[in-house]
C-alpha cells in the first residue's frame, strides 16, 4: 500500500448553509497534504500541512475562526505525533497565534517537552518567531454575543507516507463559552490525537469523553491487535455510548491504508485520498 491521507473538519451540528463549504474545505486540506508528500515531505509534514489549511479557513473551529471562551477570547489547542518513533508535541490554551499546530510541531522539534500551555506556550511561540495574530473573526464574536457556537468541533489529519510512516495532527478552539483555561482532548497524546506504528487517529466531539477513555490510543491499539479501523471505531463508539457517553467522532488510518470514519453527531465533514485513486473523496457524513 502506498500513501494515504484522511482529514476531518469537526463533528457536530453544522449549519445547512455551511455544509458545501465544509466539504470543500476538507477536500482542499487533503490536497495540501498530498502536495507536501509529493514534494518529499514525511507523513508528519503532510498531516501538519492539512491542519494548517483548516486552521486558515475561518469556517472551522481551529486557528482563525476558533470559538471563544466565556471571556470572549480564543484559546487554542493542538497536537502532532509521529507514529514510528512516538515523538509528539502539543500546545494548550495558547492565544494570539495564527497556526497553533505549527507551534506544537516546534515544541516537538525544539524542546525536550511534550506540551506547553498558556503564557509559557505563548512566550515560546514568540521566541520561535511566531508573530502576534488575532484569530477572532466577526462570526465568532457575533456567536459569543448570542451565547451560541460559531462552528462545531475540531480539525485533524492522519497520514501514511510511502515509507510506511504514520502521523497525526489535531487542532481546535475547544468548546464555545468554555471556562478560561479549559483544555480538552485535542492536545493530549492518546486522548484526541495519537499515532503509533499500526495506526494514526484524530478525534472530535466532546473532549472530556475522549480524555476519560484515552480514545485515540485505544483505537490505535485495537488496530495493532488486528482489528479493522472501521470496526474499531464503530466498537469504541458503542462502548462509549454504554459508559461515559458518545458525543464523538473519529478518523483512523492503518499502516496498510485501511480507513475508519465514525461519528455519533449529526455531521462530520471528512475527506480522504489514497495512492491509486484519481481524486480525493469528500463527504459531510459517514
CA separation for the pair 26, 29 (Å, rounded): 5
| Strand, coil or helix: 227 | coil
* Full residue range of the structural domain in which residue 212 is found: 4-283
Q: How many separate domains does the chain show?
A: 1
137 classed as catalytic: no
Selecting among 137, 154, 172, 204, the annotated active-site residue is: 154
**Under 8 Å between Cβ of 90 and 76:** no
> pLDDT tens across 21-41, in order?
999 999 999 999 999 999 999
For residue 1, name the pLDDT band (cuts at 50, 70, 90): low
Mean pLDDT of the chain: 97
Question: Does pTM surpass 0.95?
Answer: yes
How far apart CA 147 and CA 211 sit, in angstroms, is 25
Using an 8 Å Cβ cutoff, are 55 and 80 in contact?
A: no
The distance from CA 285 to its chain's CA centroid, rounded to whole angstroms, is 17
The CA distance from 105 to 91, in Å, is 9
How distant, in Å, are the alpha carbons of 69, 187, 251, 258, 274 from that of 161? 37, 23, 17, 13, 10
**Separation CA 30–CA 25 (nearest Å):** 9
pLDDT band with cut points at 50, 70 and 90 for residue 179: very high
What CATH code is carried by the domain that includes residue 226? 3.60.20.30
CB 13, CB 152: distance < 8 Å: yes
Q: Confidence band (pLDDT; 50, 70, 90) for 10?
A: very high
Residue with cell 483548516: 54
Question: For residue range 120-139, what is the model confidence (pLDDT) as tens digits?
Answer: 999 999 999 999 999 999 99
Amino acid at each position: 500500500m502506498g500513501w494515504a491521507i484522511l482529514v476531518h473538519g469537526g463533528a457536530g451540528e453544522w449549519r445547512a448553509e455551511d455544509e458545501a463549504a465544509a466539504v470543500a474545505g476538507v477536500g482542499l486540506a487533503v490536497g495540501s497534504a498530498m502536495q507536501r508528500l509529493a514534494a518529499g515531505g514525511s507523513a508528519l509534514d503532510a498531516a501538519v500541512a492539512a491542519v494548517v489549511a483548516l486552521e486558515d479557513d475561518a469556517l472551522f473551529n481551529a486557528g482563525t475562526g476558533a470559538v471563544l471562551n466565556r471571556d470572549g477570547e480564543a484559546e487554542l489547542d493542538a497536537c502532532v505525533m509521529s507514529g514510528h518513533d512516538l515523538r509528539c508535541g502539543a500546545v494548550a490554551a495558547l492565544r494570539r497565534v495564527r497556526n497553533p499546530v505549527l507551534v506544537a510541531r516546534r515544541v516537538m522539534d525544539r524542546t525536550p517537552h511534550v506540551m506547553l500551555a498558556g503564557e509559557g506556550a505563548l512566550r515560546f511561540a514568540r521566541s520561535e518567531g511566531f508573530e502576534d495574530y488575532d484569530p477572532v473573526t466577526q462570526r465568532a464574536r457575533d456567536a459569543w454575543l448570542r451565547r451560541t457556537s460559531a462552528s462545531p468541533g475540531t480539525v485533524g489529519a492522519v497520514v501514511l507516507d510511502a515509507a510506511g510512516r504514520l502521523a497525526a495532527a489535531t487542532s481546535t478552539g475547544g468548546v464555545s463559552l468554555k471556562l478560561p483555561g479549559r483544555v480538552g482532548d485535542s492536545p493530549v497524546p492518546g486522548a484526541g490525537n495519537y499515532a503509533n506504528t499500526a495506526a494514526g487517529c484524530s478525534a472530535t466531539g466532546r473532549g472530556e469523553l475522549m480524555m476519560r477513555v484515552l480514545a485515540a490510543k485505544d483505537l490505535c491499539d485495537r488496530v495493532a491487535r488486528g482489528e479493522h479501523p472501521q470496526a474499531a471505531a464503530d466498537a469504541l463508539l458503542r462502548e462509549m455510548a454504554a459508559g461515559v457517553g458518545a458525543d464523538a467522532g473519529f478518523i483512523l488510518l492503518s499502516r496498510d491504508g485501511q480507513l475508519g470514519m465514525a461519528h455519533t453527531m449529526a455531521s462530520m465533514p471528512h475527506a480522504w485520498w489514497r495512492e491509486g485513486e484519481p481524486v480525493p473523496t469528500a463527504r459531510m457524513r459517514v
